[in-house]
């Protein structure tokens, strides 16, 4: 998600009126939509497999192609938002999403289902770039950071709600309803966005100053529109004149922050989060939770509920403790718990992945449950939100839009790889080794962050920009006693 430069807003404090709350609703609904779709597949897979008798590869495609669609959606969203405006782009995303949800729920066979998944994913990808951009441009500057964390919180709430719906509907072919329900946040998003204006920044860019003034006064009635719009005009013009080309984004001077952004985005995924979010029911089935109802309730509370709670902690403490400490503590928790899950599966034997458990949860099954709770909590107060925070603050504003898009696409690419090959990995190297592989990546992530990712807490965006001038930014912070 992209947060525009801090310039462009001269207001110190703005009353939070009804229209600003609506902006909050846009970001909230987009996060919910993203999260719901990430989570819902966990409970739907079993029914889909029964209806269509799918192979492991087809199950992986049905699961992961949302991510593939999102990757492309995210890449084109920036261009779309500049061409047709933020508001119309969001409407388009919500429309696509609704269409995809309908295709999924009415699919007569796997091909239509897969097309539906791609369309939904594309909508999610577009919304995930356009909605935070919309919110960040509509919000007064002191609320911008809050909107970024609200978005992450909304994603986890979306996953949780999806799990609750899965749980309420676990039987037979209700997977169609589970997937169909995902049209609800999309339709709500459409309803909320239709009466809203586009952002003043975009309206200025397309030379509609009169409309920009109306838009600004609607959302922030207390501001001095002339001062504010002049300011937006200056910064938008400077941004246009100064806009970096793609080759500059990959230039030597930006290599360090780009490596940090892409590295964090990839590590967030290859340590296994979405394998667990998507395949939670299957993992619990293997761990001896034999009925779909038992699996669904383990997934809902142990994964979904804990994810929301722990994200609250991050939102509260990210500015107090700093990014690095949260990442380190989180990665220790993640590697220990992933190793434990691997050991527990050794005791269970590498069961097949058909989801057929045997008897009730065994001791090893309970250990798996506890370890996964530790894993999800550790992720949710560290890599989950902190990665997005850091990605949004390390790039100079001139390249921020493009660089964040690259990091976001890398994140989805890695998410796709993991969800596409998770079941195949389990089949070929076994469940234990698969979890140990995730644990090994968590250890590598720890060492890499230790060496390469500087602390950004409490630094202004300008100070962060200067950090990259040092040959070794982390060492430079150590030498100056700021780490």
Q: Which residues bind ligand BGC (CB under 6 A)?
A: 38, 152, 155-156, 159, 268, 273-274, 277, 307, 384, 411, 415
The span from the CA of 310 to the CA of 375, in Å, is: 11
Q: How far is the CB of 428 from ligand BGC (least distance, A)?
A: 24
CB 272 within 8 A of CB 414: no
| Closest alpha carbon to 76 in 129, 146, 23, 16 | 129
> Cβ closer to ligand BGC: 271 or 456?
271
> Cβ closer to ligand BGC: 275 or 344?
275
Q: How far is the CB of 273 from ligand BGC (least distance, A)?
A: 5
| Closest alpha carbon to 38 in 341, 411, 368, 356 | 411
> Cβ closer to ligand BGC: 14 or 411?
411
> Cβ closer to ligand BGC: 277 or 404?
277
Which residue in the block uniquely carries the two structure tokens 């007569």?
108
Q: How far is the CB of 102 from ligand BGC (least distance, A)?
A: 24
Q: How far is the CB of 46 from ligand BGC (least distance, A)?
A: 20
Q: How far is the CB of 341 from ligand BGC (least distance, A)?
A: 17
Q: How far is the CB of 91 from ligand BGC (least distance, A)?
A: 24
> Cβ closer to ligand BGC: 159 or 296?
159
> Cβ closer to ligand BGC: 290 or 411?
411
> Cβ closer to ligand BGC: 128 or 434?
128
Q: How far is the CB of 194 from ligand BGC (least distance, A)?
A: 28
> Cβ closer to ligand BGC: 106 or 316?
316
According to the 3-state scheme, what is the secondary structure of the chain? CCCCCCCCCCCCCCCCCHHHHHHHHHHHHHHHHHHHHHHHHHHHHHHHHHHHCCCHHHHHHHHHHHHHHHHHHHHHHHHHHHHCCHHHHHHHHHHHHHHHHHHHHHCCCHHHHHHHHHHHHHHHHHHHHHHHHHHHHHCCHHHHHHHHHHHHHHHHHHHHHHHHHHHHHCCCCCHHHHHHCCHHHHHHHHHHHCCCCCCHHHHHHCCCHHHHHHHHHHHCCCCCHHHHHHHHHHHHHHHHHHCCCHHHHCCHHHHHHHHHHHHHHHHHHHCCHHHHHHHHHHHHHHCCCCCHHHHHHHHHHHHHHHHHHHHHHHHHHHHHHCHHHHHHHHHHHHHHHHHHHHHHHHHHCCCCCCCCCCCCCCHHHHHHHHHHHHHHHHHHCCHHHHHHHHHHHCCCHHHHHHHHHHHHHHHHHHHHHHHHHHHHHHHHHCHHHHHHHHHHHHHHHHHHHHHHCCCCCCCCHHHHHHHCCCCCHHHHHHHCCCC
Q: How far is the CB of 201 from ligand BGC (least distance, A)?
A: 26
> Cβ closer to ligand BGC: 24 or 385?
385
| Closest alpha carbon to 261 in 469, 411, 105 | 411
Q: How far is the CB of 45 from ligand BGC (least distance, A)?
A: 16
> Cβ closer to ligand BGC: 274 or 339?
274
Nearest residue to ligand BGC by CB is 384
Q: How far is the CB of 38 from ligand BGC (least distance, A)?
A: 5
The span from the CA of 336 to the CA of 338, in Å, is: 6
> Cβ closer to ligand BGC: 239 or 393?
393
67: left (phi over 0), alpha (psi -120 to 50) or beta: alpha
Q: How far is the CB of 433 from ligand BGC (least distance, A)?
A: 23
Q: How far is the CB of 318 from ligand BGC (least distance, A)?
A: 13
The span from the CA of 160 to the CA of 310, in Å, is: 13
> Cβ closer to ligand BGC: 107 or 308?
308
Q: 141 Cβ partners below 8 Å, 6+ apart? A: 6, 8, 9, 11
């Amino acid at each position: 998600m992209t947060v525009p430069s801090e310039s462009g807003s001269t207001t110190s404090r703005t009353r939070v009126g009804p229209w600003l709350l609506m902006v909050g609703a846009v970001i909230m609904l987009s996060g919910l939509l993203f999260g719901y779709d990430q989570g819902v597949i966990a409970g739907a897979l079993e029914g889909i497999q029964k209806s269509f008798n799918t192979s492991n590869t087809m199950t992986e495609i049905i699961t992961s192609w949302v991510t593939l669609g999102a990757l492309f959606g995210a890449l084109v969203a920036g261009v779309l938002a500049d061409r047709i405006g933020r508001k119309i782009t969001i409407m388009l995303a919500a429309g696509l999403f609704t269409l995809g949800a309908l295709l999924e729920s009415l699919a007569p066979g796997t091909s239509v289902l897969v097309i539906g998944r791609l369309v939904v994913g594309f909508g999610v990808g577009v919304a995930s770039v356009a909605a935070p951009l919309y919110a960040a441009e509509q919000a007064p500057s002191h609320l911008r950071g809050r909107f970024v964390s609200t978005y992450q919180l909304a994603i986890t709430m979306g996953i949780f709600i999806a799990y609750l719906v899965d749980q309420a509907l676990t039987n037979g072919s209700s997977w169609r309803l589970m997937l169909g329900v995902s049209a609800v946040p999309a339709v709500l998003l459409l309803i909320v966005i239709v009466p809203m204006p586009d952002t003043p920044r975009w309206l200025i860019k397309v030379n509609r100053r009169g409309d920009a003034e109306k838009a600004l006064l609607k959302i922030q009635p207390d501001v001095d529109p002339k001062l504010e719009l002049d300011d937006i005009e200056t910064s938008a013009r400077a941004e246009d004149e100064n806009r970096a080309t793609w080759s500059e984004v990959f230039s030597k001077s930006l290599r360090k922050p780009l490596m940090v952004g892409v590295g964090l985005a990839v590590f967030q995924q290859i340590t296994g989060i979405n394998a667990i979010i998507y395949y939670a029911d299957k993992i619990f089935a293997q761990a001896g939770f034999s009925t779909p109802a038992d699996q669904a309730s383990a997934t809902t509370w142990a994964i979904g509920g804990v994810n929301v709670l722990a994200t609250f902690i991050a939102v509260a403490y990210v500015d107090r403790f700093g990014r690095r400490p949260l990442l380190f503590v989180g990665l220790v928790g993640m590697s220990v718990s992933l190793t434990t899950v691997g050991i527990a599966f050794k005791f269970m034997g590498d069961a097949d992945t058909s989801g057929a458990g045997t008897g009730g949860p065994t001791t090893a099954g309970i250990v798996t449950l506890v370890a996964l709770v530790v894993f999800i909590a550790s992720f949710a107060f560290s890599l989950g939100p902190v990665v997005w925070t850091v990605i949004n603050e390390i790039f100079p504003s001139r390249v921020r839009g493009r660089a964040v898009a690259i990091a976001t696409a890398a994140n989805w690419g890695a998410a796709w790889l993991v969800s596409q090959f998770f079941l195949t990995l389990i089949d070929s190297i076994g469940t234990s080794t698969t979890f140990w592989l995730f644990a090994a990546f968590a250890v590598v992530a720890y060492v890499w962050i230790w060496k390469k990712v500087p602390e950004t807490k409490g630094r202004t965006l300008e100070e962060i920009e200067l950090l990259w001038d040092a040959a070794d930014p982390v060492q430079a912070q150590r030498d100056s006693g700021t780490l």
